[in-house]
A and B are shown apart, each in its own frame.
Chain A
């Protein structure tokens, strides 16, 4: 009996859950959030998302071709990066800015560090921060549209869309700054300005469903639904998001802020469940995850409430990304029998 047999070290059976299956699950988990965003912000939300994904996917293709690295598009990680980037941007982001974000996320934050698995920073948040710094002289990203703005316009008005202005899909009516009442401040900005938040919002429920001026991924409820799916599929656990939420709540109570508002506003849910839990850039050990989450919670709370900027989630995660590996090294668990 002569057969050519494959010899390799054990184990000889492996799980069917590979990288692409995990990325597929993350995409599935984010679909409800995207659908809610399209409902509230109209076609803009879908357009920005499509541009981001197209940009990350094409960038990965070209960068890997130039660097002569094996193609990894089929793992789906570029799609996830594009999707997460889009969800962290305002629905009125100009297309060229969204595309630039995708390029920075993949070319700089991911491939420059060595590709998937080697990056230090969360690529989507790195690119988002880059875009906000890039546009600091011009408030392109500081303006948010009112949810359901399209409801006050007739179908024909919407059809006479003047497609681009500053790279933003606009109807004539949406030509920003020309018509009052189409832009909206984000809840955190309202709170920072000292106005009573719930004078403009109907209540927690509008924060929960995402009926607010804000980024595309603003529906906490849809995000929590997706997070529940990822928890069920065991791609994430509650150590990081749980410690972020608990830290935020405790600090809010301690400093006299509204804990529910602090948790539901400012992309905290998106950050806690989808950005801070990014495998590559977060710690692995249980104790490490808790320390990491507490760090993000503290950082976010003080930056968004007392810092120079209105929101702090994104910066907090990027800062904690840097120390994730060190946290792992110093929080190794007790060995069995040790």
Chain B
């Protein structure tokens, strides 16, 4: 069988075996839940609760005011301890609502819909918005917006990202295996909501048991218009544009959205969250994530309440292994954020936590000049020349970096992975992007 894929890309070690055969387990409640008021791309929310107030699980505690935003719900029942800045995985401090969980957990009554297929599309979209669902693969873009593509674009395809191309992470893999039918019901629901003809579920071939399970369930339960597409195992297969290329053989134009080529992309975890929100009335208050890495005693796939501090999950996985920890990454190892503070909570977009022991973390400041080996240019999935961009950014020649297309870089990190000189490519790229954007915002000065 010839597997679909895109051009370029890299083959980092998978490191999936640590957790791919472990069933999802529920994490115990932590002592404290910390819910940042921004867990999505877009404007932060406005709190609806006061310090000292009692809240129930599922209760809306912060409201979205802007269009691109998503409301936040209490993930546990308990007392609001504080509304104050708290460290966030991006490195900044962010206004966060802290809740001390009760002994006896209470939930708000949930509005079940036994037959979601009969509900009008507009109602489904508003329920998804009210449930606070965002893209759960990491980018955290509010989902209801993606469910309402521009009217002038004809959408024919729903593409489900089941690639999980990041090393170490297996949470989507486990959802595909353990929640196959619910997941497929969610796909059907979303397919109807965006009024597309066919749903394609792209799964990398290193998860062959998931491909099989989904295929079997489609046949057994008679799902219509859903196809499984086996993809080559290659990073960044799960990047939206690369996935569309692999599955539909369509190329999304530069700086345009997937709707341009008639596609909407959703991640596996997001689909499950949408299904649970519609069918069971459950807002987004918990998620499956993979807590793993060579620096952790017992890596696991965990169903955890949003707002659970990372330290709590690390203890739940048996603590450090192989000496003191060197790096704790929120997200996948290719694009995730390294954090300095373990009180940082998991949020809607947190798909994993990867721990590396100290001896495995090289000095990030130790790198060499570019040797122009061209390995980065060979693998760049956007067909850029990262070597030139890095060189120009390092030497503060931002205009030339702009000409080389630095703004079209999606920061997948493949160039930095292959670089024999260990150059911090993403650092160079972000620096150039920030400088160019600042320059473009400045008013024109006549002189």
Contacts and interface: CB of A to CB of B under 8 A. Distances in A.
B356 interface: yes
Given A13-B334, A335-B254, A3 B384 contact: no
A6 B334 contact: no
Interface stretch (B16-24, B112-120, B179-187, B361-369): B361-369
Interface string A98-122: 0000000000000000111110000
A281 B370 CA distance: 11
Contacts of B382: 335-337
A256 interface: no
A226 to B, nearest CB: 18
B254 A337 contact: yes
Given A12-B336, A13-B334, A332-B385, A19 B371 contact: yes
Interface stretch (B74-82, B197-205, B221-229, B322-330): B322-330
Interface in B345-393: 354, 356, 361-362, 364, 368-375, 377-378, 381-385, 387-388
B316 interface: no
A1 B324 CA distance: 12
A237 B373 CA distance: 11
A221 B254 CA distance: 47
Contacts of B327: 5-8, 12
B248 interface: no
A5 B339 contact: yes
Contacts of A5: 325-328, 338-340, 342
Contact of B338 (A7, A15, A334, A335): A7
B372 A337 contact: no
A9 B372 contact: no
Given A117-B421, A338-B253, A12 B374 contact: no
B371 A280 contact: yes
Nearest to A118: B369
Contacts of B342: 1-3, 5
Contacts of A337: 241, 251-254, 256, 382
Interface in B248-279: 251-254, 256
Interface in A1-37: 1-3, 5-15, 17-19, 21-22
A203 interface: no
B27 interface: no
Report whether over half of chain B's contact residues are helix, strand or loop; otherwise say mixed. Answer: loop
Give the contact-size bracket for chain A. 35 or more
A335 B384 contact: yes
Contacts of B328: 5
Interface string A321-338: 000000011001111111
B408 interface: yes
B373 to A, nearest CB: 4
B372 A279 contact: yes
Contacts of A72: 368
B340 to A, nearest CB: 5
Contacts of B374: 279, 284-285
Interface stretch (B44-52, B101-109, B209-217, B412-420): B412-420
Contacts of B149: none
A45 to B, nearest CB: 29
Contacts of A285: 374, 377, 385
Interface stretch (B59-67, B129-137, B423-431): B423-431
A44 interface: no
Nearest to A332: B385
B248 to A, nearest CB: 13
Nearest to B320: A3
Interface in B288-332: 311, 314-315, 324-329
Nearest to A325: B372
Given A1-B342, A5-B326, A10 B413 contact: yes
Contact of A7 (B339, B354, B372, B388): B339
A142 interface: no
B11 to A, nearest CB: 10
A115 B369 contact: yes
Contacts of B311: 1
B43 interface: no
Contact of A15 (B339, B383, B418): B418
A114 B370 CA distance: 12
B30 interface: no
Contacts of A172: none
Contacts of B356: 12
B426 A282 contact: no
A10 B251 contact: no
A148 to B, nearest CB: 38
Contacts of B416: 10-11, 14
Given A3-B325, A117-B421, A336-B382, A10 B336 contact: yes
A237 B374 CA distance: 10
B405 interface: yes
B409 to A, nearest CB: 10
Interface of B: 7, 12-13, 91, 167, 241, 245, 251-254, 256, 311, 314-315, 324-329, 333-340, 342, 354, 356, 361-362, 364, 368-375, 377-378, 381-385, 387-388, 404-405, 408, 411, 413, 416-422, 424, 426-427, 430
29 contacts: A1-B311, A3-B325, A7-B91, A7-B340, A8-B424, A9-B364, A10-B338, A10-B411, A11-B333, A11-B413, A12-B334, A14-B362, A14-B417, A15-B12, A19-B371, A116-B371, A117-B369, A117-B372, A118-B369, A280-B371, A282-B372, A284-B387, A284-B388, A285-B385, A328-B388, A333-B377, A333-B385, A335-B384, A336-B383
Given A7-B338, A9-B424, 19 more contacts: A7-B327, A8-B364, A10-B333, A10-B413, A11-B417, A13-B12, A15-B12, A15-B418, A15-B419, A18-B420, A234-B375, A280-B371, A282-B372, A284-B372, A332-B405, A334-B383, A336-B7, A337-B251, A338-B405
Please provide the 3 A-B residue pairs with the shortest distance between their CB atoms, ordered closest to farther. Answer: A117-B369, A8-B364, A11-B413
